[in-house]
Amino acid sequence: MQSFRTELENINSSSKVLIEKDIIDLDTKIRAFKEGKINEEKFRSLRLARGVYGQRQQGVQMIRIKLPFGKLSVKQLLRIADISDEYSNGNLHLTTRQDIQIHHVSLDRTPELWAKLEQDDITLREACGNTVRNITASPEAGIDPNELFDVSPYAHALFTYFLRKPFCQEMGRKIKMAFSNNEKDTAFTYIHDLGFIPKIENDQRGFKVLIGGGLGAQPFLAQTAFEFLHEDKLIPFIEATLRVFDRNGERASRHKARLKYLINKIGLETFLALTQEEEKALLVKEFNIDTGNKTENTISRLSLLKEKPVINEADYVKWLNTNTFKQKQKDLVGVYVKIQLGNISSEDARKFANVIKKYADVEDIRITINQGFLLRNIEQGELLFLFNDLENINLATPGFDSVGDITACPGTDTCNLAISNSTHISVALEEVIYSEFPDLLYNHDIKIKISGCMNACGQHGLAQIGFHGSSFKVGTTVVPALQVLLGGGTVGNGKGRISDKIIKVASKRGPDVLRSLFNDFEKNAVEGEYFNSYYDKQGKDYFYQLLKPLADNSTLKTEDYIDWGQDEKFATAIGVGECAGVVIDLVATLFYEAEEKLTFAAEAFEEKSFGDSIYYSYAAFINAAKALLLDKSIHVNTQHGVISDFDKLFETEKPFSYDSTFKELVLQINKHEPSEFFAEGYFSQADRFVREVKLLRAKYINETKNEKVS
């Protein structure tokens, strides 16, 4: 405990008080949970919103570190490496959302770990749970010759603005946002809840806004909300969207709780109309984002370099052609670093940091969406030396973002939801490509992506060639399997394709699937033809027939019953997933939360954060009303449903002091400006309502007891 408090004292941040409160709260709730004072669901929700995620192995946690648009400094990278050594297993895992994860962390040590990270301005807050997750962006933003403007400041502004906002702490499900820096859409805006592509109209900056996309078991392509939304209207629109989603989104069934389902249910036009109804209550009507032009401080280091190293010229040329590009800044180059499966040891991370210090921008490294790194602002003349140094630490692998650069989630290595292995098979597939189809290392059209289950953390649904973990039975024996998907990918400017399910094969036959696909493509495709064009031309059934022999279970061998990376026969072991949090439906917990929200409302009011205070009061109304409905065995799945059903329950009986309907009382929230006067009055009404609901419930309980006695 003393060490934990000491680490808090070392935090140096403008938001130090908030951060300390967060960390102390996590520590307090961990102890309360272990003492049986907080139920498991409530505690799980709290820790998820603080980046602490249960993993497949009992008794340890995965820690997700939130890095807005994947940006980190050398100092931060070294801090995370040290943290992994001290609290974890010495491995850093780069994710498709540009986060870093470390695994096998003791729950008791998470507050101390967090406090140490915050000393270098690194947060865990809202990296998991039903919150606004890490906001991703094209890693090339700011240095891409083809971009209209740098989207990095916008991604950072969204991260800062929505962190800790009360209307996006306990939504029905997570919200994912992405900025692509040009119409090539390298951030995959079309599969996000909210996606943004830069546009310029009449010399004004703005964005094409995509909404309602998502992968998972039921993928949806995003729809266009605006062809052009002025940059000052970006944050107000997102805030309105989150408020509408919080109130109207599904909460009973997490499988139907994403924004895509709400929009599909009520229609985009109705949804956008609801966002307009929130306009008066928004914290800001316009938000000007500081995009200040950063001056690149580049220092020529050529004079410090020794004579040219001896290298393999062919390897160097291949690396240059597949892993580098010219920046829009004159004479500077961006360099991609392939990290297989996104896994790098803390020892290698330190070696890598030393190389970065010699050649690249130490304040701006980007984690890429395909689980690698992008180094920025490297002088052309230093590339040979950089290549040599990277090769010496085994980080000069060519073929970045090519066919041979496979994206995969951790799968059964750590995840509760994974069905079959997605990591060891990825290594095997890459070996097939590098050894048997080396020319494909220059192919950036075909992307291969693998997930351990249908939930698509490995983004298999947007791949030209995708796989997700599965299984099937032969008699009574379970066989680890792969679902093969083809034909997905990015079209551009917010449009994409979801891959088609083709066939299921035993996992050990994955390499043969690739061989069949590539041999067929090389033999029959027209020169220069893209894979998806060939797929469309041949048709889904053609590929089913092509791969059908590999799905013949009568030819299974002994090794086919054993998953990749395992020694024993396969058995499914799926746990309870935490990707989207949990549904909290216990009456006592709801009353606890109502009172907690009132406390937060009072604190926000004292800090003159009137908009936050109002929303906390609103949450207190909802939680108290839901508790009483649940006590009457009335189950509702949206906040809007809580409001409607509460009025129905008390349509004739009027046991409360308010004169209006409950709907009119609660929905004052979007009828008023977030002023001090309204915040104070709304809080008083919420406080009185919670007390009256608790008294009424106590009366019901006493009446029930008396009936039993009589």
Q: What is the pLDDT of residues 173-205, one digit of tens each?
A: 999 999 999 999 999 999 999 999 999 999 999
- The answer on pLDDT for 14 being more than 70 is no
The pairs formed by 655-659 with CB atoms below 8 angstroms and a separation of 24 or more are 655/692, 655/696, 656/689, 656/692, 656/693, 656/696, 657/688, 657/692, 658/685, 658/689
For the chain, percent of residues with pLDDT exceeding 70? 93
Distances from the Cα of 22 to the Cαs of 37, 44, 621, in angstroms? Answer: 19, 15, 24
Would the pLDDT of 574 be above 90?
no
Cβ-defined contacts of 196-199 (< 8 Å, 24+): 196/151, 196/154, 196/234, 197/493, 197/494, 198/147, 198/148, 198/149, 198/151, 199/148, 199/227, 199/228
pLDDT above 60 (res 421): yes
Q: What is the pLDDT of residue 585?
A: 38
pLDDT of residue 575: 52
pLDDT digits (tens, 9 = 90+) for 271-313: 999 999 999 999 999 999 998 755 455 555 654 566 788 899 9
Section 640-660 average pLDDT? 91
Over 70: is that where the pLDDT of 576 sits? no
Q: Tokens standing for 599?
A: 């406390």
Mean pLDDT of 70-96: 96
pTM of the model: 0.92
Separation CA 63–CA 48 (nearest Å) = 9
Q: Which segments of the chain belong to CATH 3.30.70.3340?
A: 310-392
Give me the mean pLDDT over the 47-60 stretch.
83
Fold of domain 407-561: Sulfite Reductase Hemoprotein; domain 1 (3.30.413)
Q: How far apart are CA 694 and CA 635, in angstroms?
A: 18
| φ and ψ of 14, to 5 deg | -65, -20
Tell me 167's DSSP state. G
pLDDT, position 675: 96
Find the mean pLDDT for residues 315-322.
96
pLDDT band for 573, please (50, 70, 90 cuts): low
Asked if 447 and 426 touch (Cβ cutoff 8 Å), the reply is: no
- The pLDDT of residue 584 is 34
- Both tokens assigned to 649: 């329950």
Question: Which pair of tokens denotes residue 217?
Answer: 């078991």
- State the DSSP H helix or E strand holding residue 229, giving kind and residue range, or none if neither: strand 223-230
Give the mean pLDDT of 43-51: 83
pLDDT band at residue 16, thresholds of 50, 70 and 90?
Answer: confident
Distance CA 471, CA 507 (A): 9
Top-tier CATH class for 310-392: alpha beta
- Whether the Cβ atoms of residue 201 and residue 273 lie closer than 8 Å to each other: no
- pLDDT above 60 (res 2): no
User: How confident is the model over 430-446, as pLDDT tens digits?
Assistant: 999 999 999 999 999 99
Q: Residue 48: which of 149, 132, 126, 152 has the closest Cα?
A: 126
Would you state the pLDDT for residue 580? Answer: 40
Q: Where are the alpha helices (DSSP H) in 168-280?
A: 234-248, 259-266, 268-277
Smallest Cα–Cα separation from 71: which of 416, 512, 336, 375? 375
- Please give the angle made by the CA atoms of 624, 260 and 166, to the nearest 5 degrees: 35
Asked if residues 245 and 175 have their Cβ atoms less than 8 Å apart, the reply is: yes
User: Which element (helix H / strand E) includes 26?
Assistant: helix 16-34
Q: Which pLDDT value is given to residue 591?
A: 86
Please give the pLDDT value at position 81. 97
Confidence of residue 454 (pLDDT cuts 50, 70, 90): confident
User: Which residues make up the CATH 3.30.413.10 domain(s) of the chain?
Assistant: 136-281, 407-561
Is residue 536 over pLDDT 80?
yes
Task: For the chain, give every residue range classified as CATH 1.20.120.330.
Answer: 587-709
Q: Which amino acid is at 77?
A: L
State the pLDDT at residue 5: 64
Taking 90 as the threshold, does the pLDDT of residue 463 lie above it? yes
CA 183 to chain centre: 22
For residue 1, count other CB atoms closer than 10 A to its CB. 9
Query: What percentage of the chain carries pLDDT values higher than 90?
Result: 71
Please indicate whether residue 310 or residue 223 has the higher confidence score (pLDDT).
223
SS (H, E, C) 203-215: CEEEEEEEECCEC
Distance CA 463, CA 454 (A): 14
CATH pick for 587-709 out of 3.40.50.300, 3.90.550.10, 1.20.120.330, 3.40.50.800 = 1.20.120.330
Return the structure tokens found at 638: 């949206």
The CATH class given to the 136-281 domain equals alpha beta
Q: How far apart are CA 595 and CA 472, in angstroms?
A: 49
Query: Where residue 660 falls among pLDDT bands split at 50, 70, 90?
Result: very high
Mean pLDDT of 205-232: 96
> Rounded distance, CA 516 to CA 547, Å?
7
The pLDDT mean for the chain works out to 90
pLDDT at 382 > cutoff 90: yes
Q: How far is 517 from 305, CA to CA, in rounded Å?
A: 46
Q: Could you give the CA distance from residue 294 to residue 181 in angstroms, rounded to a whole number? A: 17
Contact 135, 98 (CB under 8 A): no
Q: How confident is the model at residue 59 (pLDDT cuts 50, 70, 90)?
A: confident
